[in-house]
Amino acid sequence: MKTRIIIIALATILLSCNNSKQAKLDKLKVQYTDIAAQITQLEAEIAKEGGKPIVKKPVQVSVNEIKTQAFNHYIEVQGKVDGEDNVGVSAKTLGVVTEIFVTEGQSVNKGQVLAQLDDKVLKQGLEEIKTQYALVSNLYNKQKNLWDQKIGSEVQYLSAKTNKEALENRLQTTLEQIEMSKIKSPINGTVEEIPIKVGQSVAPGLPIFRVVNFSKIKVMAEVAEAYAPKINKGDDVVLFFPDINNEVTTKVTFASKYINPINRTFQIEARLAVKDMKFKANMVCVVKVNDYTTPKAIVLPMNVIQSLNNEKYVFLMKQEGNNITTKKQVVKLGQSYNGNVEILDGIKENDKVIVSGFQDIEDGTAIKL
């Protein structure tokens, strides 16, 4: 409890420090604006009174002429590569491994035996059942012949028949148990993991082989619950693989309707067309889902946007004859991505926005390009 109080106190102090710094910055910006206005007024008064005015050199800046362009916003999450079929193979019965028939990296077919469990006792029991079955089957055949000739009782016939059928069932069950002692591959694929050795005991439900089919692969990612309304099957997605420096554009092929109650995320998948075997299981992938697109937008770099008292603004180039000055223009921002931001209001096409040197100017400052 004491630790929690200390953590909360530290967080409060840090937050208050951040707020204090922001408030101080906003206050200084207001003071700067007021001082600059006073300087401009005094210069004008000096010039009017016939004194020698203070001539300011134009500030050198760079401008960009605004043209509309496509703007895309992406939700970025980390995903991983997986095979369409990625199976952990386990034994169907408890036993000791007596033989392993495959090695890691080996291709296997569906139904191929991967390992053998100890079935010595089962095979001994099978031989006993076969001997008993031969005797019971012989007695049944004789009793049936007598019954067909109306000799003997029906009870004797039914008893012989029941004994024969019971042993047939035991024989079939034992054969199935012997078959269960063989660990088989459920799919076509490649053996990727063999975490067991001969002599080790295994149990049902414990994976002892991993078989992956990479003829079809996919990328899986978990996305925060907040994005659930924005991501749907069929959305464009960009997959970036940093390990191989490769980028692929595809579609979201699956968007789960289930929210994991533990981490409040849902799963999405995107399938990949395999052209080569560069991809490996569990390879890291940056998944970028396109959740917002505007074909014609006014877009500016984020660092051009300035802020004062919760007001966002930029400086435009204003030309009157040979005089080139600045004009402060308040803007309304939209979505931002990858260092760029969409401008919803305040700037139109062909406006000239100052993109460098704006740190040293204010509204009405003389500039040169």
Element housing 69 (H / E):
strand 69-90
Domain ranges for the chain: 1-55, 76-86+209-292, 119-180
Predicted confidence (pLDDT) per residue in 233-259, tens digit = 988 899 999 988 888 889 999 999 999
Predicted confidence (pLDDT) per residue in 100-110, tens digit = 999 988 889 99
- The DSSP bridge partners found for residue 240 are 247, 286
Backbone torsions φ then ψ of 92, nearest 5 degrees: -90, -10
On average, the pLDDT of the chain sits at: 81
How many other C-beta atoms lie within 10 A of the C-beta of residue 176? Answer: 10
N-terminal to C-terminal alpha carbon distance within the chain: 62
Is pTM beyond 0.95? Reply is no
Regarding beta strands 62-65 and 352-356, do their DSSP bridges make them parallel or antiparallel, or are they unpaired? antiparallel
Percent of the chain past pLDDT 90, that is, above it, reads 15
d(CA 327, CA 185): 73
Residue for token pair 């031989």: 127
d(CA 256, CA 358): 47
pLDDT, position 9: 47
Residue 186 is classified by DSSP as S
Helix (H, G, I), strand (E, B) or coil at 27: helix
Predicted confidence (pLDDT) per residue in 319-369, tens digit = 777 777 878 888 888 888 888 888 888 888 888 887 877 777 777 777 777
Two structure tokens written together for 93: 């019965």
Q: Is the pLDDT reported for residue 178 higher than 70? A: yes
Residue 166 is classified by DSSP as H
d(CA 206, CA 190): 19
Helix (H, G, I), strand (E, B) or coil at 356: strand
Predicted confidence (pLDDT) per residue in 289-299, tens digit = 988 888 888 88
* Residues 70, 342 contacting (CB under 8 angstroms): no
d(CA 231, CA 256): 10
d(CA 299, CA 73): 12
pLDDT, position 1: 47
The conformational region for residue 105 under phi > 0 = left, psi -120 to 50 = alpha, else beta, is left
Q: For domain 76-86+209-292, give the fold.
A: Elongation Factor Tu (Ef-tu); domain 3 (2.40.30)
d(CA 27, CA 250): 49
Q: What angle do CA 285, 290, 292 make, to 5 degrees?
A: 155
Q: Is the pLDDT reported for residue 78 higher than 90? A: yes
